[in-house]
Structure formats: C-alpha cells, structure tokens
Amino acid sequence: MQLIKLLILVALEFTFTNSAYADQLQGRIIEVFDGDTVTLLSENMRVKIQLTGIDAPEMKQDFGVQSKQALSDCALDKIVVIDDYKSGKSGRSIGKVIVDGVDCNLRQVRNGMAWHDTQHSEDQSQVNQQLYADAETMARSNRIGLWSQSNPVAPWDFVHQVNVKKTQDAFSKQWLNRNRQFR
C-alpha cells in the first residue's frame, strides 16, 4: 500500500513538474555554495537560488562538505530547469533544481544530505511536502548520510548555537574591557 501511495505521488509530481503553468527558469548551474544553494547562469544573468523544501548542513557542520559535493554531482555545470521559481519570504530566489528529470532537492533529502524543510512548507506543493517527508523518513530509518550520526544537529539549531556563542563571546569581551580598570 505504501508503494502504491508513493507511485501515485511521484506520478502527480511528474504531472505538476511538467505543467506549462509552473514558473520556470532554465540555464546552467555555474556554482554550488553549499548543499542547498546554487548559482544559475540564465540568459547571461547570474541568479543565486536557494533550493526549495530542504535545509542542508552548514559548511562548518558535520556533512556540510559532503552535502555540497552531492549537490555538485547532481547539478554543477549541467543544464537545469528551476521549477517553481519565485522569490521567497526572505527575498531570496527559491526553486526546485531539475536535471534530466531528476529533482536534485529531493535527491539531497533521499541521500541523507539535507533535512526536509518543514518551516517553509508554504513554498512547496502538498505532493512535494509528502515526497520530501517520506524521503527523509526513509533516509533516517536506513541511517543514510547525515542520519548515520548518532545525534545529527539540524542546520537551524547549528546556526542558533553559533549565534549564541558569538553573543556570549562579545558580551564577555565587553565585560572584561569595562572591568579591566578594577584590577
């Protein structure tokens, strides 16, 4: 039953992906910044694109380098279609990277190189939300990629920890500078 559900979702996604009504951009990926951000060259214009529906480890985080390499293997120097191309709430360009019919965003999640980003679910169709959620569940249960770690830290938690540490360090330095006169 689970297989039938997945096949129906994939068929629906294929239908929506190839719809003439979808906002699309075509070009070549000329740079991969990390596991969820690329630069597209389209009609002599460079566009930085955040991959919709995923959040990959930061470069200084465990699996950050592997995630970037996996995305590079999927898309770098290849002709792609950016499906569901739009400006996200943060003002960044977002979209789904498709190479020869392969959804690189979904591939990142399926291979344990990114989390399914449920915090921005409004940017994904319900079909994609389900596909990506199922892909993460499978990667987790099979301990693939970052899920092979005993306790992987989500990128949003990692960034928060780094920001808290920077704030604490700045406060400590400021306190020491102000209280130096009392020594």
Buried b (16+ CB within 10 A) or exposed e, 50-81: bbbbbbbbbeebebbebbbebbbebbbeeebb
User: Does 85 lie in the same domain as 37?
Assistant: yes
Q: Whole-angstrom Cα distance, residue 90 to residue 47? A: 15
Residue 80 shares a structural domain with residue 134: yes
Residue 168 and residue 89 share a domain: no
Q: Share the mean pLDDT of the chain.
A: 84
Q: Residues 74, 76, 77, CA angle at the centre, nearest 5°?
A: 125
160 and 127 in one domain? no
Mean pLDDT on 115-135: 93
| Of 25, 99, 27, 39, the residue nearest 68 (C-alpha) | 39
Same-domain status, 84 and 171: no
CA dihedral (5, 6, 7, 9) in degrees, to 10, reads 90
Give burial (CB, 10 Å; 0-12/13-18/19+) of 83: buried
Same domain, residue pair 11 and 29: yes
CA distance 141 to 50: 27
Indicate if the alpha-carbon torsion angle 13, 95, 40, 158 is positive or negative: negative
The DSSP bridge partners found for residue 86 are 94
Global confidence as pTM: 0.77
Whether residue 174 sits in one domain with residue 123: no
111, 181: one domain: no
Residue 75 corresponds to which amino acid?
A
pLDDT tens by residue, 68-99: 999 999 999 999 999 999 887 777 899 999 99
Quote the pLDDT of residue 19: 40
Could you tell me the pLDDT band of residue 17, with boundaries at 50, 70 and 90? very low
Non-local CB neighbours of 78 within 8 Å, separated by 6+ positions: 28, 29, 99, 100
**52 and 23 in one domain?**
yes
Q: What is the CATH number of the domain that holds 112?
A: 2.40.50.90
**Residues 64 and 115 both lie in one domain:** yes
pLDDT for 161: 75
Considering the domain architecture, whether residues 121 and 169 belong to the same structural domain is answered as no
Do 100 and 181 lie in one domain? The reply is no
Number of domains the chain contains: 2
- pLDDT tens-place string over residues 146-161: 999 999 999 989 876 7
* Structural domain of 166: 154-183
